[in-house]
Structure 1
Amino acid sequence: MMKIILSIALIFLANLVNAQSTCECGETLERLIHKIETEYPGFEEKTKDKILYESFKVQLKVEANLTEKSACFAMLKKYTAFFRDGHIWINPATAISNSKETVSTTLVDVDIEKFRKRSKTTADPVDGIWKNKFEWTGGALYEIGITKNKAGVWIGFVMSSSSAFWKPKETKFRLYPDGKFEFYTFDKKMKTGTYEIYNQSIVYFKEVRAVFIKESPASNLTQEEVKRKVGEYYGFGAKKLSDKTMLLTLPSFDYPFVEIIEDLVKNNRSQIETCKNLIIDLRGNSGGTDNAYQLLLPYIMTNSIRNMGVEYLATPTLVDGLKGYLKNLPENKERQREMERVGRWISLFEENMGKFVNLKDSTFSMQQVVPSEKSPAQVLILIDKRVGSAAESFTMMAKQSKKLKVAGTVSSGGLDYAAARMFNFGCPEYLLQLPTYRSLRLPDYPIDNIGIQPDIFLDKSVQDWLQFALAYLEQ
């Protein structure tokens, strides 16, 4: 269901950014509180101390009623932080006009439609249309035009964007001849650093970890070459550390990187199958989708995987989102089957509104994994405190393998409530993301704010984790 949840979120976001701001700070907080108290699956578990929660809420309401709209975001963040759930996320949907940290970008004097036509025939290596297809951690998507000004500076301006922060013709970045850049982030805060243009097809902003791919005129690179290079920029990699040991580095499981990870595994299959030891470095991987690591399972598992089930909190928001998803299904051979499947979910949710629903009617499931005939004899996964969500799910699954060890520190602890999506809470100047289900591990085996314990704890005296892993496996 994770792909469906993502689709619902994107549909909702597209409608939300066109809405108008209506809420003052006190009203915004009231509506946010109501939404979380009625539609957050972890609310009861996270507010067992009712006296503490109620006193916190009352005090925050007093503060919010005295807070200007331009400073309200801090109040909302303070409330959502109470639940200590990384899957709860709130951000402004539109620029906060009085924020001292927000920078107004200049407008480029350009006819976008004429530029779009001209880009198809330009001979200039940089001039043209670029897109950030591989945005890190689900950020906004941009269509950017790049053109040179009279001073010889390349100006990247917005042609279209999924973010209401950004309007057409606004300057997104500047590329200077000396290799330096000025880059405006999601909320228009300016960052500086150095950039690289690879093969006239990829612009990489090192310090902000942003990548834009040339769309028009067409890139000189194949899709495979683009994915491989983007993977390198973001830290994905595969290499032999010795004759016996291979390293896979997977810094994210986010949706845009699924194909990059799959290609990484496919392109290095022979080395993975023939190495004696495999190290999988997950450090810094805050999660994404479980689809990202499926190709790895036959090489690391010795048996099938026992997965605990989940149950969704049936809410009007979830039902409306599923109905919207069905309306936008493409016309293909899978459409009718999907309509029937999701239709059954909608009926179950509507019949059990406000209750938890187990769509599979089982507390656990067995994921059949057929181990590869050729695979490493030993596997070691490296985790740290930044590893969360889907990366923690991968780690928990992998720990069931008889040939695998986990080394590092305790993970971040964000796995109890998941399948996050966008929620409309009545104040469209803000975006709210909430999880939609809770794990059936609860309450017996919580992970949130506890984390997954490594088999081998690496204390601060271990300076080089890779060297430790290599020595552990080969000695």
Structure 2
Amino acid sequence: MNRLILSLLFFIVRTIAFGQNCKCDSTFQIVKHHIETNYAGWFDKTKQFDKAKFLEITNEVTLNTKVISNDSLCHKEIKKYVNYFQDGHLHLNLNRPKFQVTNNNKPIVIEKIGISETEMLTYFKSLKQLDKVEGIWENNNYKIGIIKSKANPNIFNGIIISSKNENWMAGEVKLVAEKNKSNSYKLKFITGDKAETIENSIVFFKNILDAQDLILSRVFPVSNDLVSIDDYTLETDPTNPKLSFPKKDIALWTFPNLYPQNMDVVKLLLKKNKSKLETTKNWIIDLRGNEGGDVRVGNLLLPYLYTKPIVWSNEFSRLSEDNFNKWFSTYIKDYYETLSKEKQQQLDSVFAVTKTHFGQFGNWDNENKIADTITFEKKMKTPEKVVLLIDKNTFSSGELFTILARQSDKVIVMGEKTTGCIDYGNVMTYKTNCSSISLSLPSSRNNWLDQGISIDRDKVQPDIYIPKNIKNWVDYSYNKMKEQTKKNGR
């Protein structure tokens, strides 16, 4: 579900050195321009700066970039300027490929083997023992028969039986598995668009064949101990949220992040465990090390936590031409193109007003509400008590979810102070004149700053600090909940 598709990362490797049009001093001027005109924290930060020191850093980087011709050194030098703003959402990126492939422009030749599913089954049933990679496998897109090659007993061809992907036809060889002397396996498969070949090692678990970017479930021979691909990836993908029940009266949620792609994971966990969650009195939501993402992923739990209206302080965007164009192309363009001309004109009228406010802060739709209020129709009886665990590595949207959730009377926040990186958000990434260097910057500013509140400065503070000598925070927080229950006579 959350497997990284390596084929998206494979691309023609660019040279490490700059091209003729990639001058480091020009790159710095582009970065400087974007920070000055598009970064939501520009005005606040520059008011706080030691102006003489900031001017010194700016002049130093300006001079040094004039004599740099290597992208790594250029990135390092410009980063001095970027880091001076001390904003965890403001990043200068060095975009080196994680994988290198040789692009020889030769088309991938797809082998065809004329064998039907019935013939495969007849062959498999004739064998005393199948190799563990042999059999009929499937996932949501393909049904594949993996059968030993006649030419080499350590080579196994994965032949398409049926495919929902129109690029692939029955009889085509999509993958080849190779058995090594150590009885381990490598699997080489062709991507769905037939553009790339990817090679990974294979892990077998019950009825699952896991090649990282391709996961299959065995259909034949039938396994006695079955697990679905969804359940398998839920358990094995380290970026997924997890839900467990370590004791009969406790539900433990673990959120390593709030990545938007995990929205469906959380919905699935809520659906699968609905009856159990509704009878479990105590919850622990572990946000330690949470890398942020989209707070709406965490907000899926709010109906269970809700006791009274939740105030959500809004953010205003820095309205600039660059930020508008980036926002429109990323979030609005595809939707806009599906609209009738009349509805497009209505949106055009809204955006025309927005453009008159370039240089100011506000919302793209011109509805500049300071805050929103979250309400639900009913209060859930369970959980009765909830602990949110936070630490110094709880970051960004993990912090915002804590701020929202702790407004419930059920919730106690335990742990230590968070990172402090949420005053400025809605990150946009801008290219520079060099393909290897880009700038990510927050485009919006939270309205709580106007009330003298700064989470970046003060962090999110727990209600109860967990002593440094405590190793098991989950047990500690559970015991604290039990103590409070006894005090309340429940």
Give the TM-score of the pair, scaled to structure 1: 0.73
Residue 6 of structure 1 is matched in structure 2 by none
Does the CA contact (< 8 Å) of 1:253 and 1:292 recur in 2?
Answer: yes
Letter in 1 for 2:146: D
Residue 329 of structure 1 is matched in structure 2 by 335
Residue 466 of structure 1 is matched in structure 2 by 474
After superposition, the Cα gap between the structure-2 partners of 1:404 and 1:33, relative to the gap in structure 1 and judged at 3 Å, is same
Q: State the identity as a percent.
A: 25
Does the CA contact (< 8 Å) of 2:215 and 2:229 recur in 1?
Answer: no
Letter in 1 for 2:276: Q
Residue 391 of structure 1 is matched in structure 2 by 398
Aligned: 1:26 with 2:31? no
Does the CA contact (< 8 Å) of 2:390 and 2:417 recur in 1?
Answer: yes
Residue 61 of structure 2 is matched in structure 1 by 60
Residue 39 of structure 1 is matched in structure 2 by 38
Q: 2:290 aligns with which of 275, 278, 285?
A: 285
Does the CA contact (< 8 Å) of 1:407 and 1:458 recur in 2?
Answer: yes
Q: 2:441 aligns with which of 394, 417, 434?
A: 434
Distance 2:461 2:346 in 1: 37
Q: 2:422 aligns with which of 407, 411, 415?
A: 415
Q: 1:401 aligns with which of 404, 408, 411?
A: 408
Residue 255 of structure 1 is matched in structure 2 by 260
Letter in 2 for 1:380: V
Report the structure number with the largest CA radius of gyration: 2
Distance 1:147 1:335 in 2: 48
Residue 228 of structure 1 is matched in structure 2 by 231
Q: 1:154 aligns with which of 186, 192, 201?
A: 186
After superposition, the Cα gap between the structure-2 partners of 1:151 and 1:241, relative to the gap in structure 1 and judged at 3 Å, is closer
Distance 1:40 1:469 in 2: 39
Residue 51 of structure 1 is matched in structure 2 by 52
1:361-372 matched pairs, under 5 angstroms: 361-372=368-379
Distance 1:24 1:157 in 2: 40
After superposition, the Cα gap between the structure-2 partners of 1:259 and 1:336, relative to the gap in structure 1 and judged at 3 Å, is farther
Query: Greater shift after overlay, 363-372 or 376-385?
Result: 363-372
After superposition, the Cα gap between the structure-2 partners of 1:35 and 1:326, relative to the gap in structure 1 and judged at 3 Å, is same
Structure 1 position 109, deviation (Å): 10
Structure 1 position 301, deviation (Å): 1.8
Structure 1 position 300, deviation (Å): 1.0
Residue 317 of structure 1 is matched in structure 2 by 322
Distance 1:341 1:474 in 2: 57
Structure 1 position 392, deviation (Å): 0.9
Query: Greater shift after overlay, 461-470 or 75-84?
Result: 75-84
Aligned: 1:82 with 2:84? yes
Does the CA contact (< 8 Å) of 1:381 and 1:406 recur in 2?
Answer: yes
After superposition, the Cα gap between the structure-2 partners of 1:90 and 1:157, relative to the gap in structure 1 and judged at 3 Å, is farther
Structure 1 position 286, deviation (Å): 1.3
Distance 2:251 2:346 in 1: 42
What SS does the aligned partner of 1:442 have?
helix
Q: Deviations over 1:372-418 (max 9, x none)?
A: 43321111001111111111111000111112100111111111111
Query: Greater shift after overlay, 118-127 or 460-469?
Result: 118-127
What SS does the aligned partner of 2:439 have?
strand
Distance 2:446 2:217 in 1: 45
Structure 2 unaligned spans of 5+: 1-8, 115-140, 148-155, 160-173, 484-490
Query: Greater shift after overlay, 70-79 or 115-124?
Result: 115-124
Residue 94 of structure 2 is matched in structure 1 by 92
Residue 488 of structure 2 is matched in structure 1 by none
After superposition, the Cα gap between the structure-2 partners of 1:367 and 1:150, relative to the gap in structure 1 and judged at 3 Å, is closer
Aligned: 1:360 with 2:367? yes
Structure 1 unaligned spans of 5+: 1-12, 96-101, 130-144, 162-167, 180-194, 205-211
Does the CA contact (< 8 Å) of 1:389 and 1:415 recur in 2?
Answer: yes
1:158-307 matched pairs, under 5 angstroms: 159=191, 169=196, 174-175=200-201, 199-204=207-212, 212-214=213-215, 225-233=228-236, 234=238, 236-307=241-312
Residue 464 of structure 2 is matched in structure 1 by 456
After superposition, the Cα gap between the structure-2 partners of 1:253 and 1:371, relative to the gap in structure 1 and judged at 3 Å, is farther
Distance 1:215 1:449 in 2: 48
What SS does the aligned partner of 1:472 have?
helix
After superposition, the Cα gap between the structure-2 partners of 1:379 and 1:323, relative to the gap in structure 1 and judged at 3 Å, is closer
After superposition, the Cα gap between the structure-2 partners of 1:81 and 1:155, relative to the gap in structure 1 and judged at 3 Å, is farther
Structure 1 position 455, deviation (Å): 0.7
Does the CA contact (< 8 Å) of 2:175 and 2:190 recur in 1?
Answer: no
Distance 1:341 1:274 in 2: 49
Distance 1:86 1:66 in 2: 29
Distance 2:418 2:257 in 1: 14
Structure 1 position 463, deviation (Å): 0.8
Letter in 2 for 1:319: F
Aligned: 1:123 with 2:131? no
Structure 1 position 469, deviation (Å): 0.9
Does the CA contact (< 8 Å) of 2:317 and 2:444 recur in 1?
Answer: yes
Does the CA contact (< 8 Å) of 1:418 and 1:437 recur in 2?
Answer: yes
Does the CA contact (< 8 Å) of 2:283 and 2:387 recur in 1?
Answer: yes
Paired residues, number: 404
Does the CA contact (< 8 Å) of 2:217 and 2:228 recur in 1?
Answer: no
What SS does the aligned partner of 1:435 have?
strand
